[in-house]
Amino acid sequence: MYFDVVIIGSGLGGLLCGSILAKKGMHVCIIEKNKQLGGNLQTFSRNKQIFDTGVHYIGGLEKGQNLYQVFKYAGIMDKLRLEKMDEAFDHFLLEHDPKEYVQSQGYDAFIKNLGVDFPEEKEAIIHYCNLVKDTCNRFPLYRLTMHSTASKDAILSLSAKAVIESVTSNKKLQAVLAGNNLLYSGVAGKTPFHVHALIVNSYIESSWKCVDGGSQIAKLLGAEIKKHKGTIIRNCTVNRIVEEAGKITHIETEDGRRFSASYFISNMSPAATLSSTHSAHLKVIYRKRILGLENTISSFSLHIVLKPYSVLYKNHNYYYHKEGHLWNMNDYTTADWPLGYGLYYTADRKNKTYAASVSILTPMWFKNVEQWQHTYNRAGKESERGAAYETFKKQKTDQLLALVNERFPEIVDNAAHIYAATPLTNRDYIGIADGSMYGIQKDFTDPLKTVISPRTRIPNLFLTGQNLNLHGILGTSLSAVLTCTLLLNDNTLVDKIRNA
């Protein structure tokens, strides 16, 4: 089979590339190892309730904002079923403090509402907001342009923790400003301020939930690709990316099929891509750098089906940190895990006064489950991991629920069914070897080391996905735009998206 473009993996990056290139008249083929499209967009159903695996809310979807324009150009914005979140979209709970603090949509509301809780810190809050906006303006693609009036070089080596601490010495305000750092796996000695700024800014601009889950984004993009005569093949694992005479000629799949194309885009992780590609053009030093990059931590999550009409629905999220662990939730011990969590509600479809379900997420390293690393369990390839694994999940479920019960006893008391997912679950469905939540860990001490270009030394092999520039729905979408810009050699693409 011959195509203009073969895309390996149907994560958001792969699907967006497929949609953009298909609209340009290219014959696109997407090959996905799972039954369901979407990577982190995947959802699953338990007891007639839909759960998101990785997308609990999205920023930047107000008309004219960056993600809105990308989805508009891709042809899906008007079809998305969305619910705007409360003005105070994220609430923060601090150990030993009964009060709830908030981050709000819109910078005026953000400043006003935080100013109520921290009246003596009003100027610091304004200064923080200006730093965030200035940082975002230094990344032209983030503003959907290829031109920048300010250099970003000077800010790449700034620490998120250090910048926030320079803004205010108030520990509680620091904990609120960085309180949703679970969104980017915030680490004291590594996370750059620009990663913090680019992510939180999108939610401050506008925050949304996908009604009935984020998988609708994948389904709509898949439909757009098919509308433009594209091909999507599921349940098909790519084994080899084959180079001959300096170009990729075809890929080979687990079931023995070959797919040829003029161009290839890998939405797999860069490490997985290199492991599948045997070519002298990918130099040893490049392979060593990519394979040596540290990944962000994985997660343990609980998906709870609630007793009907038992818990009031809240159209905002919660983040909890144990005292002193704002920037080191990953440094837990067996005894003190978990050190914090994020908590996300889903409304009952029939009566939105009540919540139908709740998802709770907390960091967990793959090493905690590596004794079962040779087991695999995903839709279409189901298998049991054994009694010891089930015991492990039960122990961790009880530990996490004990912490949640301190602030949300109504959730624990009214849990009808509880389902746990570990780093192994993330690995099996997303395809990253250690189940990493957000791919490669950015590092302000060596910022260029973790910058990966969509181009490779093989001229017709490109990369896309959350590992390249910025993770999350927005970061992955912008990486796809950059991949397509380079493949098409068309700098006007970004202008067309901005003006869609």
| DSSP letter for each residue of 263-319 | EEEE-S-HHHHHHHEE-TTS-HHHHHHHHTPPBPPEEEEEEEEEPTT-SB--SSEEE
Question: Is the Cβ–Cβ distance between 167 and 128 less than 8 Å?
Answer: yes
Alpha carbons 130 and 110: distance in angstroms, whole number: 12
Residue 359 shares a structural domain with residue 463: no
Half-sphere exposure at residue 217, Cβ-oriented, CA atoms within 13 angstroms:
34
User: Does 144 score more than 90 pLDDT?
Assistant: yes
Residue 320 shares a structural domain with residue 388: yes
User: What type of residue sits at position 445?
Assistant: T
Residue 426 shares a structural domain with residue 457: no
- Sign of the CA dihedral running 405, 406, 407, 410: positive
User: What type of residue sits at position 188?
Assistant: A
Closest CA to 215 of 351, 78, 11: 11
427: in domain = yes
Residue 241 shares a structural domain with residue 352: no
Residue 320 shares a structural domain with residue 264: no
361: in domain = yes
pLDDT at 167: 98
Question: Is the Cβ–Cβ distance between 60 and 89 less than 8 Å?
Answer: no
Of 237-246, 368-377, 464-473, give the lowest mean pLDDT range: 464-473
Alpha carbons 347 and 355: distance in angstroms, whole number: 4
Split into its structural domains, the chain has a count of 2
Domain boundary among 437, 466, 490: 437
Domain CATH number, residue 277: 3.50.50.60
366: in domain = yes
Going by their DSSP bridges, the two strands 340-347 and 88-94 should be labelled as: unpaired
With a CB cutoff of 8 Å and minimum separation 6, the contacts of 117 are 99, 101, 176
Domain boundary among 413, 437, 461: 437
Distances (CA, A) of 282 to 244, 246, 270, 483: 13, 10, 12, 18
Q: What is the pLDDT of residues 449-482, one digit of tens each?
A: 998 999 999 999 999 998 888 888 999 999 999 9
139: in domain = no
Of 39-43, 93-97, 201-205, give the lowest mean pLDDT range: 39-43
What does 124-135 look like in DSSP terms, one character per residue? HHHHHHHHHHHH
Question: Is the Cβ–Cβ distance between 141 and 167 less than 8 Å?
Answer: no
- Sign of the CA dihedral running 108, 182, 54, 51: negative
Residue 391 shares a structural domain with residue 329: yes
Alpha carbons 429 and 121: distance in angstroms, whole number: 44
Residue 368 shares a structural domain with residue 473: no
- Rg (C-alpha) for the chain, rounded Å, is 22
Residue 322 shares a structural domain with residue 398: yes
167: in domain = no
pLDDT at 381: 76
Domain around 323: 297-437
Residue 261 shares a structural domain with residue 384: no
Q: What is the pLDDT of residues 263-292, one digit of tens each?
A: 999 999 999 999 999 899 999 999 999 999
Grade residue 211 by pLDDT with cuts at 50, 70 and 90.
very high
Strands, sheet with 340-347, edge to edge from the N-terminal-most edge strand? 97-104, 88-94, 317-321, 340-347, 355-364, 298-306, 415-421
- Tokens for 4, please give them: 């203009």
Helix (H) or strand (E) holding 357: strand 355-364
Question: Is the Cβ–Cβ distance between 328 and 100 less than 8 Å?
Answer: no
User: Does 124 score more than 90 pLDDT?
Assistant: yes
- Tokens for 433, please give them: 């070897």
pTM: 0.95
Residue tagged 């008249």 (tokens):
25
Among left, alpha and beta (phi > 0; psi -120 to 50; other), residue 48 is left
Alpha carbons 422 and 130: distance in angstroms, whole number: 38
428: in domain = yes
Q: What is the pLDDT of residues 154-182, one digit of tens each?
A: 899 999 999 999 999 999 999 999 999 99
233: in domain = yes
At 15 the three-state DSSP class reads helix
Grade residue 119 by pLDDT with cuts at 50, 70 and 90.
very high
User: What type of residue sits at position 88?
Assistant: A
pLDDT at 290: 93
Contacts 24+ apart (CB under 8 A), 451-456: 452/270, 452/290, 454/479, 454/482, 454/483, 454/486, 454/487, 455/486, 456/281, 456/282
Mean pLDDT of 401-417: 98
Mean pLDDT value across the chain: 95
Grade residue 120 by pLDDT with cuts at 50, 70 and 90.
very high
Residue 232 shares a structural domain with residue 322: no
Question: Is the Cβ–Cβ distance between 184 and 195 less than 8 Å?
Answer: yes
pLDDT at 267: 96
Alpha carbons 170 and 184: distance in angstroms, whole number: 23
pLDDT at 297: 96
455: in domain = yes
Domain boundary among 408, 437, 466: 437
Distances (CA, A) of 278 to 39, 253, 271, 432: 25, 15, 13, 19
Residue 322 shares a structural domain with residue 285: no
Q: What is the pLDDT of residues 480-491, one digit of tens each?
A: 999 999 999 999
Residue 332 shares a structural domain with residue 399: yes
Alpha carbons 169 and 163: distance in angstroms, whole number: 11
